[in-house]
Structure 1
């Protein structure tokens, strides 16, 4: 058996983790699949284009925890960032990895959650932290909101999803509700989508009886569709294309060596996946201009519950 065949067989045994897009793709990058050219391209792309530290995370402490294979908390940010617009974090999730008990926990924070924006000193929607101060302020705000320490963050520009899907060809999802947005017909059941249709699918909210919660679910469905389709990609040119797209749309404080350590030391956490959506009550609150603004008010009991879910694995 040739070295290339061994590498292919080795890769086939590593199941893609069914968690949000950013961390899945980052872990896959660390695998060094198929050929040295891909491995080298991935390493250069991650370290030179994607890697960006933030002041709110002590990276020396984080690297020691990673080296010792201790539990980690990773903030996942899906950012709707368009031309001439800094954007807001469209999706916020805390991914907790517990290698001791082989457990992975994914907690979604509703983007309209009202909380103190660290660095600004006033309350606003938690997703506005990104608009005010990028990933750094988002990390600090989530840490303050849940009273936890975050070790890493991964930020993905949602616009990059369209390029990603088109590079793969198409993806398929199992749609829960039927609707027509004026451009596309989304029937209930299996739906095959290219990049543009995927963006329409993931952004719909007003026709969903579950509103933002329904959209969050569709985001996860798209992620799963990308994973399922990506796992079958065997073309070197396609893989290099995917790496280039990620390099243009993703930012993280994980470097290439960090990603390899995650793959090696935390791969068993996928054996037990726990998913949770924070809950609260909607409320209209007047802003300084006297306008009613919708917020999700998360009660202290819910915040304490989620804090305990995250810190208990420590």
Structure 2
């Protein structure tokens, strides 16, 4: 018996009635998940991480971002423990230039002797954070290098460990071999989890370059995190990264600032250059300081300001 047209189409329509709602639910689910990530990120940044300071003029920075001008960001790695305000264990000025898609990381040795803005006396530059938090640290670095900082990012060193663990591992190009009794660090590419990363950045005694070698390793870790973070393909882990940063990071950026930087400055990671300020060690009243000559300060000022 010959099938009618209606009879032939009936199974197809039944199939559509079943599949279309499933597709809709999947699309809606993905959309709601993406929205939940966006909402969680926005709430975490604006409510837990955003800490504006007087030393940075947000209106000036906003105009520079809208005009896609170069930006300078102070990166601070702090070692904060209970009942201790902490010190900035690592200080770097990250310069982003979208015009040539370049990023520059300049490390400032933590023992550098300079005037602490707001205190009026000279001390180690990393003590500025202990005396007056991020605001005083930003003002002191600006005064030291005669530059304008547009943002700051502060990360607790414990958060560095947690962030690397969430990323899985990072890889750095290690330049000297050593063993700390727990880990072997061979020359060449070294893959590290959070614990090994902390051992890598904190070692000084076995490094012939002392604190200079330490800050160089800190820069390598920052680069490793940037590269690994940019390559992570698991959307499902985004909320985990956000939670780690929310518990361990503070910044003058709000969520809108981060979106604008992502859209306008994300390609700057394609060309990364790094530099470490140089100086001579000395003891004053039994305390070790690094004395950075004026010529070195002028050189770094020119590098950041791109002055010839």
Normalising by structure 1, we get a TM-score of 0.82
Query: In 2, are the aligned partners of 1:38 and 1:236 still within 8 Å (CA)?
Result: no
Q: SS state of the match for residue 95, structure 2? A: strand
Relative distance call for 1:311 and 1:226 in structure 2 (3 A) is closer
Query: In 1, are the aligned partners of 2:93 and 2:107 still within 8 Å (CA)?
Result: yes
Q: 2:9 — aligned with what?
A: none
The whole-number CA distance in structure 1 between the counterparts of 2:96 and 2:234 is 31
Query: In 1, are the aligned partners of 2:154 and 2:251 still within 8 Å (CA)?
Result: yes
Query: In 1, are the aligned partners of 2:71 and 2:149 still within 8 Å (CA)?
Result: yes
Q: SS state of the match for residue 35, structure 1? A: helix
Q: 1:76 — aligned with what?
A: 75
Q: 1:294 — aligned with what?
A: 288
Q: 2:254 — aligned with what?
A: 255
Q: 2:19 — aligned with what?
A: none
Q: 1:246 — aligned with what?
A: 245
Q: 1:50 — aligned with what?
A: 49
**1:36-59 deviation digits (Å, cap 9, x = unpaired):** 222221111111110010011111
- Deviation of 1:156 (Å): 0.8
Relative distance call for 1:101 and 1:238 in structure 2 (3 A) is closer
Query: In 2, are the aligned partners of 1:148 and 1:307 still within 8 Å (CA)?
Result: yes
The whole-number CA distance in structure 1 between the counterparts of 2:95 and 2:34 is 31
State the superposition RMSD in angstroms: 2.5
The whole-number CA distance in structure 2 between the counterparts of 1:120 and 1:71 is 30
Which blocks of at least 5 consecutive residues in structure 2 are unaligned?
1-22
Q: 1:200 — aligned with what?
A: 199
Relative distance call for 1:65 and 1:230 in structure 2 (3 A) is closer
Q: SS state of the match for residue 53, structure 1? A: coil
The whole-number CA distance in structure 2 between the counterparts of 1:150 and 1:224 is 20
The residue correspondences of 1:163-182 to structure 2 (distance < 5 A) are 163-182=162-181
- Deviation of 1:241 (Å): 0.9
The residue correspondences of 1:213-224 to structure 2 (distance < 5 A) are 213-224=212-223
Q: Which structure is larger by alpha-carbon Rg, 1 or 2?
A: 2
Query: In 1, are the aligned partners of 2:164 and 2:225 still within 8 Å (CA)?
Result: yes
Q: 2:159 — aligned with what?
A: 160
Query: In 2, are the aligned partners of 1:98 and 1:313 still within 8 Å (CA)?
Result: no
Residues 1:264 and 2:258 are matched in the alignment: no
Relative distance call for 1:148 and 1:220 in structure 2 (3 A) is closer
Q: 1:133 — aligned with what?
A: 132
Relative distance call for 1:275 and 1:231 in structure 2 (3 A) is closer
The whole-number CA distance in structure 2 between the counterparts of 1:173 and 1:220 is 10
Normalising by structure 2, we get a TM-score of 0.83
Q: 2:187 — aligned with what?
A: 188
- Deviation of 1:113 (Å): 0.6
The whole-number CA distance in structure 1 between the counterparts of 2:307 and 2:299 is 13
Relative distance call for 1:42 and 1:313 in structure 2 (3 A) is farther
Relative distance call for 1:275 and 1:68 in structure 2 (3 A) is same
- Deviation of 1:236 (Å): 4.0
Q: 1:309 — aligned with what?
A: 303
The number of equivalent residue pairs is 281
User: By percentage of residues, which structure has more helix?
Assistant: 2
The whole-number CA distance in structure 2 between the counterparts of 1:280 and 1:300 is 10
Relative distance call for 1:267 and 1:142 in structure 2 (3 A) is same
- Deviation of 1:232 (Å): 4.6
The residue correspondences of 1:4-83 to structure 2 (distance < 5 A) are 35-83=34-82
